Amino acid sequence: MSAAALILASQSRYRAELLGRLRLPFLTEAADIDETPGFDEPPAALAERLAEHKARHVAHRHPGAWVIGSDQVAACEGKLLGKPGALASARTQLAQLSGRLARFHTAVCLISPVGDARQALDTTTVRMRHLDSNQIERYLALEPALDCAGSFKCEGYGITLFESIDTSDPTALIGLPLIALSRLLSEAGWPLP
């Protein structure tokens, strides 16, 4: 592979930690795009659109670089789940998820130095246990996941909230589907095993 830079179009520490597992040198840069969903835009389509838009936005500022964009859109019973940002919102979100299924659509887009795009999508289904208010309070006291859609961290204590996780890529739920990204990078000629 050439010496062209690899840039992660994100300031997410979770995505940076995940990308670091691939042992490739990379830079990070926030995309700072409008993430407003389109009217009646399905969650999976929204994730794909935002991942590509983030990658293209950063690629425009760095001609000749390889750029990775990623986005995750979570939904439960047709309602989008954002990052709660505050404990009150996290309580509400976890109560809404109690005993239900949530789907996390995580898209990744790799833009080449000439602007070609390769994209992949992972959908992870999480079935939450029935949670009472005491269980929710206990979880939030131990791990207030205020910067995570769904108000939990599956890689942490949040695993105790689930009945099951159905996924083809466990890293996707954290925010960057490394199995799909590894395939995209390999197809593009990056030196991975």
189: number of Cβ within 10 Å: 10
Residue type, 172: A
Determine the Cα–Cα distance for residues 7 and 29; give it in Å rounded to an integer: 7
Show the CA angle centred on residue 70, arms to residues 68 and 48, nearest 5°.
Answer: 115
**71 catalytic per annotation:** yes
Catalytic site residue from 71, 116, 122, 132: 71
Determine the Cα–Cα distance for residues 65 and 184; give it in Å rounded to an integer: 15
Determine the Cα–Cα distance for residues 49 and 43; give it in Å rounded to an integer: 10
Q: Which sequence positions are flagged as catalytic?
A: 71
